[in-house]
Amino acid sequence: MVAVEGQGPELAKALLRVADGMAAQPGCLAYVVNAAPDEADAVWVTEIWADSASSEAALGRDIGEAGLADVLELLASPPEYIEVTPLGGPGLG
């Protein structure tokens, strides 16, 4: 996702606060916040969920609670998603 100009670091901070809350959500295997080395206002979040129901439950909860409202305020455009299905490999929780 891309922040309004100059707000990439603030967006990353807001997402790290969201990540703290996600760590406790059932089925959240990863919620890693990443900077893009050559695009200062872009932030990537790499999420791994046990199943799509867990992901939807956690997202539904969190928009109402602390965290995601701050994120939405900082965005220059709606976030882009790349959804994939894990098949295996180390690091899958």
Q: Report, in Å, the least distance between residue 76 CB and a copy of itself.
A: 18
Site residues (vs a copy of itself, CB under 8 A): 12, 15-16, 19, 22-23, 28-37, 44-46, 48, 82-93
Cβ proximity to a copy of itself: between 52 and 73 the closer is 52
Closest CA to 28 of 93, 88, 73, 78: 93
Q: Report, in Å, the least distance between residue 28 CB and a copy of itself.
A: 6
Q: Report, in Å, the least distance between residue 79 CB and a copy of itself.
A: 15
Q: Report, in Å, the least distance between residue 77 CB and a copy of itself.
A: 18
Cβ proximity to a copy of itself: between 64 and 82 the closer is 82
Helix, strand or coil, per DSSP, at residue 29: strand
**Cα 21 from Cα 80, distance rounded (Å):** 21
Closest CA to 45 of 59, 58, 31, 57: 31
Query: Phi, psi at residue 44, to the nearest 5°?
Result: -110, 135
Helix, strand or coil, per DSSP, at residue 43: strand
Cβ proximity to a copy of itself: between 3 and 12 the closer is 12
